Chains A and B, each alone.
Chain A
Amino acid sequence: MTLNPLANPKGTNLNCELCQKPAFIQCTKCRVTYYCSVEHQKADWVGIHEKICQSLIALRQGAPFLPSQEERQKRERHILMKKTTMIDLTRTTGQKLLFEGRHEQAVPAAMQSLRFAIDVHGLDSIELVPSYLILGEASIGLGRLSQAEEYLAQAQWTVLKTPSCSNAIKSKLYRNLGLLYAAKGEYDDSLRQLADDIYHASENFGTNDIRTSGGYFHMANVFFRQGRMEIADSLYRQVSSIWYNHLQKIVKIRTKTPDTPQGIGPLIIESSDENTRYIFIGYEAQEAEAIQVLNAIYDMQEHQQSRQPQDLATICHALAMLYFILMDISKAKEFGRKAVVASEGHPDDSLSRTIVEFMKNLESQTQRVI
């Protein structure tokens, strides 16, 4: 629906959702969002608007007339709660888009989350940092380095001013700074920042957690680009072993079900499936990270001449387990077979044995599903 800025009531400026310029278009679904052009509307729609369109109506409409103080407070609380859930939703969406490599689309989501966060927490709150970080990362991905630096500097300043800031946020901040420097080609600074990332993540989650592994992965990439292959290999190995152990734990929980009695079997299997899905997916973003990281390492090792067969077997097995958990059985089988091939003729029997066992489990699971 088209608008004419000149026709707006006096004192009302309707601005574009993305660029804050005078708006010419209105979203016909919610009627509370405006855009300067069709391109911006489309970008916002695929980025985030599709998910939040209806929720925005309640948040943006003017307050109805409520006669009692109690009702007014109730409404305020309600809105605050809604905004907080919106922050979470927009952030997760943004993060997921980032892991999938769709930086352009992540920007609207991040902007939206930043707006809500400012609304709820004020301008200089630590709660704003995650949104800044998503924006920063998206900007790095898009190659807008100066803009990224601006966002990250803002985030860093807020973190410095908040001594009680959690390690998880710090770790994310340093990771993004590291990525920024890496993109700029300042590898030493980048390594320093990534080291800080790993340190803080380890403080929070331990050294062998999947949330720490991201730092190792980016560090490995930097060493790789510097040509220090030995170190990069050692780091890639560390990352794949962290993911491998994590995935194996989940698969173990999943494949434990066969020893339940036949009669009530299906029910139990279903519930435990829900359960494990929950353990892993807690964040959709993690799923995307797993796919990105493991595939990257796999590509790297496949093209390397001097690779060790057991590394390739490990990464293939990890990928197979990942696709199995994501219920992509055909891909799981494909990688499983690759893992079997890679582990053949290798002296470490336990690895090839676990792979074969996993393949057997995979067969039985698929049969049950059919």
Chain B
Amino acid sequence: MPTPPRGPPSGRLQPIKVPGKAERDLFFKQEKLRQQQPELSKKQTTRYRNSYKHNLCLDMLQDGYHKSFSELFALIKQQEEERQRQGEESLMWSMVMLKDQHEKLDMLKQHLCKAEEAERKGDFGEVYRSRYELARYFQSGGDKWLADHFFTTCLQTSAQVKGDNGKTQAQGYLNVGLALEEQGDVLSAAEHFEAYYKLSVDHREWIQADNLTFHTDACINLWRIYSSIAASIEEEDPQESLDYLIKALKLATESQDKELQGIASYRLGHAYEQNGDGETALLHLNEYLKICTAESDSEGIGKACDAIAKAYAKQGKVEESITYLKKFVEVAEKSGEEVALSKACHNLGNIFNSLGRYSEATEYFSKSYNLSRSLGDKEAISTNRVQFGIAMAHKMMKGLDSHTVMGTRPALERLIEWKNARVDEFENPSQNLKKKSQNPESQRPHHHSLK
């Protein structure tokens, strides 16, 4: 044991410094200030020490909302794992994470706790409403993954809601279906919409906010999803695609929405035509035309006429085709739809051109060319310009040929004149030119291109 030191080693102790008046005042002031401050409780100190998320979780747990806690915790973890998985180069790395967005956390806490409270009491309708509100909130905030999560849990909850014959469940299916559709998972979306349809088909009295019955809404959604499935598999499996389009048409008819019915008919007709079944295609296209006429939808009529004309043209029925195209032009002119009109004229010109009726062809091509010039559509201008030129050339060909064949002097002079001035005078009466009888060969239409 070391002994304690005895006395100061170097003679005298330094006197203790007595604090001066200024210093004492300062001490006094500090002491007074400290007394004014309330003492912090343990809870307050932890609030200061812990993260926001930590405190939020503690608050929830303290009140016994352990399910809300688990769910929130899992969501935060899920996002963090996703972030780790995507790596440092991804966009997500620099994103603000859920755990740092206090407003959203508060929102989550409030509604999750409300839902849990209701769940304990067995009021699943309330649970559904709370979760739905959260889903809507995140949907509007652009947090799709959260919105999807809550829509899915909504659906799960809705299965337990008793006493409304599945109305809530129907809504749940609808929401999940829409979310899936947005993700691009159309097949699963279709499954959910089908479930929605099944639930709503016997309850025509269920009405949505915008005065639409659930049933109609289901039809519309299913129609849309079938159409998009059909469009996506058109390449690989045309037969399957057709089946989907037929289903879509059936639903469109059921929804009693003429416009949808028309579009469905048109698509189906189009698909049939692609598959080479012109007869059935015409059936559906005519249906579409009928609907459009009834609705006086000029654009639709135009589209219908165009498609019908094409179908006829494919079957080789040129006259019918021309009739419908002329109708198309007529309608387009009436409604002042210049784009459609230009297209119609172009198509008519093409047909006349291939039929050898060049004067009509030039007429329509010039119309189309002028229209596209006034519209300023560069691509259309150039195609029409070329086609117009070709038609003109074809038209001139007959006269030119006949003149070349005649070989008389006035004829040759006229040819030379044309070479100089490029004025089409071949159509002028040319009795004086006729020395020889005309060669029957030259009267035939010429199909060689001048391109």
Contact = CB atoms under 8 A, between A and B. Distances in A.
Interface of A: 188-189, 191-192, 194-196, 198-199, 202, 207-208, 216, 219, 223, 228, 230-231, 234-235, 238
A195 B57 contact: yes
A186 to B, nearest CB: 11
B29 interface: no
B57 A199 contact: yes
Interface stretch (B61-69, B145-153, B310-318): B61-69
B42 A231 contact: no
Given A192-B58, A199-B57, A234 B70 contact: no
13 contacts: A191-B61, A191-B64, A192-B42, A192-B43, A192-B58, A194-B61, A195-B57, A196-B46, A199-B58, A202-B70, A207-B70, A228-B64, A235-B66
Central interface residue in B57, B64, B67, B74, by most chain A CB within 10 Å: B64
Contacts of B67: 234, 238
B158 to A, nearest CB: 19
A192 B58 CA distance: 7
A230 B118 CA distance: 11
A207 B120 contact: no
Nearest to B53: A199
B120 A230 contact: yes
B64 A235 contact: yes
B54 interface: yes
B73 interface: yes
B120 A234 contact: yes
Given A207-B74, A208-B70, A192 B120 contact: no
Interface residues on B, range: 10 to 19
Contact of B64 (A188, A189, A202, A219): A219
A198 B73 CA distance: 11
A118 to B, nearest CB: 23
5 closest A-B pairs (Cβ-Cβ)?
A195-B61, A231-B64, A207-B70, A195-B58, A195-B62
A189 B73 contact: no
Nearest to B70: A207
Interface string B60-103: 11101011011001100000000000000000000000000000
Given A202-B73, A207-B74, A234 B66 contact: yes
B69 A191 contact: no
B120 A219 contact: no
Nearest to A177: B42
A195 B56 CA distance: 11
B58, B66, B69, B120 — most chain A CB neighbours (10 Å): B66
B47 to A, nearest CB: 11
Nearest to A195: B61
B120 A231 contact: yes
A344 B210 CA distance: 48
A216 to B, nearest CB: 6
Nearest to B57: A199
Contacts of A231: 64, 120
A61 to B, nearest CB: 26
A189 B42 contact: yes
A192 B43 CA distance: 8
Contacts of A207: 69-70, 73-74
Contacts of A189: 42
Given A207-B70, A228-B64, A231-B120, 11 more contacts: A188-B62, A191-B64, A192-B42, A192-B58, A195-B58, A195-B61, A196-B46, A196-B58, A219-B66, A230-B120, A234-B67
A230 B116 CA distance: 11
Nearest to A188: B62
A191 B65 CA distance: 12
A198 B66 contact: yes
Nearest to A239: B66
A23 B61 CA distance: 50
A126 B59 CA distance: 28
Contacts of B60: 195
B225 to A, nearest CB: 32
Given A199-B57, A234-B120, A191 B70 contact: no
A202 B74 CA distance: 10
A219 B61 CA distance: 9
Contact of A216 (B59, B66, B120, B121): B66
